[in-house]
Amino acid sequence: MRSSLTTPPRTCLPVAPVLAMLSFVLSRGFCLTAAEVGGTIYPTFGSLSRAFTTSTPKCGKSSETGSVVTHSQLKTMLSSGDIQLFDVRQPDEYLAGRIPGAVNIPLGTLEESLKLSPEHFQQTFQVKAPGKDDDNIVFHCKTGGRSSRALDVALKLGFHRARHYKGGYTEWAAQEGN
């Protein structure tokens, strides 16, 4: 019979922390993050893991990285016709001034509108319904607050490539002289 003093101790990998981390990654609970070092922005583990997920960020807000359209990008998309631009302001705001080609869907009705069948959406708004894989969906409002919330709604519904024009109609009018 061997003494326990002569038997080398067994070593086990710390399985619990590894399983917890794997569970966290698989649950897609990371938010997009970045670290700035010496004026250069580097992605952190959270942002790298985001590339492997298909759901919205889970930290309460949509990620700004990759989801914001600039004024120049919006102009390019509009000039090429490669855009589905949705104005989420109220109808009176829309009628008072709008970005050409924008379709008015007030934020309060956006979720139910995006859930419409393609046929019903087209009948209601006179444009083709956006597809969940479309990368040319852009929301805008007056200054970016409502369009950011609209983006959250769209992401929650599975429109993972949707974006928003953060500058909104205010920036558009200032840049375009309207």
As annotated, the active-site residues are: 141
CA separation for the pair 28, 54 (Å, rounded): 8
Q: List all residues 6 or more positions away from 115 whose beta carbon is below 8 Å from its beta carbon.
A: 157
Angle between helices 107-114 and 118-125 (to 10 degrees): 140
In a 13 Å sphere around the CA of 171, the CA atoms on its Cβ side amount to 14
Element of type H or E holding 130:
none
Q: Helix, strand, coil % (nearest 5) of the chain?
A: 40, 15, 45
By the 10 Å C-beta count (0-12 exposed, 13-18 middle, 19+ buried), 93 is classed as middle
Number of Cβ atoms within 10 Å of the Cβ of 8 = 5
